[in-house]
Amino acid sequence: MENIHFQKLTKTFSRLSRFSHLSAIAGWDMFAMMPPGGSQARSEALAEMSVLCHQILTSPDVAQTLAAAEQEDLNDLERANLREMTRQYQQAALLPEALVEAKSLAGSRCEHAWRTQRPNNDWQGFAENLKEVVKYSREEAALRAAHRGGTRYDALLDIYEPDMTSARLDVLFGDLKNWLPDLLTRATEKQAQKTLIAPQGPFALEQQRELGLDAMKLLGFDFNGGRLDVSAHPFCGGVPEDVRITTRYNENELFSALFGVIHETGHARYEQNLPREWLGQPVALARSTALHESQSLFFEMQLGRSAAFLTRLRPHVVARFGDQPAFAQDNFIAWNQRVKPGYIRVDADEVSYPAHVVLRYEIERALIEGEIEVEDIPALWDEKMQAWLGLSTEGDYRNGCMQDIHWTDGGFGYFPSYTLGAMYAAQLFHAARQALPTLDRDIASGEFSALFDWLRQNIWQHGSRFTTAQLVTNATGEDLNPHYFRKHLEQRYL
């Protein structure tokens, strides 16, 4: 039998993938369906699963087999799969089992308590749990940094965004800081000259759900392999064969949930179109979190907030909620392209959104590097919100530093993915437009197949076969270039 070591590894990683599948669905259930009393038992079960996967992945046998497989005669795809297997092994082997378990338990505990602490504005209670999560995240970061060199924060960033460093982020985000505040001011001043009509609620939750399903159908979501539910914080989870989307509804606000669903549908389409013949293998996983966020922001912002798509979406809104002055075409488009700095990241327009991300990046990096402590977060948050958006969050933890789920389970290093994703999305949409000259006309008429075929061919079907830089260069002709993001914002808003 040829390549026996490689074949042996594929069996091990298929097994790990099945355990990961169970964890993903148990995690979705914990966020969407589980009664509060189940929290402790579920946390322990998920921690046990983390330890089991860690034991399988870090066994001496896997290390020896990886080394032996390196010598085998593998084709390009097999070689890419072996590279991703080795990366997963190295990421896991650095961490002692006890730390994996302790971090998982601390994260579950912090997230579960956050669900009631956030509505109650209970920073003190939240901070106690967060300190525990930060402690284990710093331990993890120190172990990873000692192995790979570089800073502790870079070691966590690498989990989500391979090959990205804070030095490169500082250049990209430093450039943003130079031009974005001015663009934000000009866009809001320009829009202030036009009076808009606000949609009149209440908007029944069941009708909102139906509208979200309409949008998912329009965008090609495969309902045979996924579903839509409700959770405290919108997310896309599950596995490629069974993708779970969640959103949250507010009967006084129509578009927050709708565009949340459109955003998560972008994530879901990526997952549903990963290379099926390699499912269960690391090479079939999504390339990186920034690439994943590029797909959700491609759907929500590049496509979803375009005049062409809004023209196509409007009849669905009218069919579900009746006609009203706010839904007149020009007003409907302008309302959904408003630039209005606010407190909540997930509700932010695409011009002010990067401010929310850079703020979190700067705080979490300082936190992991030990330059600040958990107690320092609220004041820093307030200071940066005032500097970027002219808004104060003093004493308002609910709408300030307690609004996100990411830090509750130690997801430090994830936040930069959102703005990197926005940059990638703009670059990809530009390339798609070059390749598909009738794109805007097609979108307005509800014809998305050419666009989705382009994404499938250039991004989705490759999984992790290529590095991020290779994948983006193959699709667009160059590595990440933030120029396209700036150009997109200027064209749409100025």
Residues 213-267 have pLDDT tens digits of 999 999 999 999 999 999 988 899 999 999 999 999 999 999 999 999 999 999 9
Report the pLDDT averaged over residues 341-366. 96
Tell the residue number behind the tokens 């630039």, with chain if given: 339
* Structural tokens at position 472: 């983006």
Contacts of 92 (CB under 8 A, 6+ apart): 54, 57, 58
Q: Is the pLDDT of residue 2 over 90?
A: no
- The total number of residues shown for the chain amounts to 494
Q: Is 462 flagged in the annotation as binding? A: no
Q: Is the pLDDT of residue 450 over 90?
A: yes
Q: Is the pLDDT of residue 1 over 90?
A: no
Residues 394-434 have pLDDT tens digits of 999 999 999 999 999 999 999 999 999 999 999 999 999 99
pLDDT at residue number 232 = 84
pLDDT at residue number 176 = 95
Q: Is the pLDDT of residue 195 over 70?
A: yes
Averaged pLDDT score across all residues of the chain: 96
Q: Which of 84, 264, 271, 362 is catalytic?
A: 264
Residue 347: pLDDT band (50, 70, 90) is confident
Residues 160-172 have pLDDT tens digits of 999 999 999 999 9
Q: Using CA atoms, how far apart are residues 291 and 474, in angstroms rounded to an integer?
A: 14
Q: Using CA atoms, how far apart are residues 471 and 87, in angstroms rounded to an integer?
A: 18
Pairing of strands 235-239, 226-230: unpaired
Active site (annotated) includes residue 264: yes
Q: Using CA atoms, how far apart are residues 448 and 436, in angstroms rounded to an integer?
A: 11
For the purposes of burial, counting CB atoms within 10 Å of the CB of 174, is it exposed (0-12), middle (13-18) or buried (19 or more)?
Answer: exposed
- The percentage of residues in the chain with a pLDDT greater than 70, rounded to a whole number, is 100
Residue 480, CA distances (Å) to 291, 378, 427, 470 in order: 11, 33, 8, 10
CA gyration radius, the chain: 22
- What b/e readout covers 312-335, taking b as 16+ CB neighbours within 10 angstroms? bbbebbeebbeeeebbeeebbbbb
Q: What pTM does this model have?
A: 0.95
Residues 125-144 have pLDDT tens digits of 999 999 999 999 999 999 99
Report the pLDDT averaged over residues 337-361. 95
Residue 335: pLDDT band (50, 70, 90) is very high
Q: Is 267 flagged in the annotation as binding? A: yes
Q: Is 36 helix (H, G, I), strand (E, B) or coil?
A: helix
Q: Is 293 flagged in the annotation as binding? A: yes
- The percentage of residues in the chain with a pLDDT greater than 90, rounded to a whole number, is 98
Report the pLDDT averaged over residues 469-486. 98
The half-sphere exposure of 99 on its side-chain side, counting CA atoms within 13 A, is 17
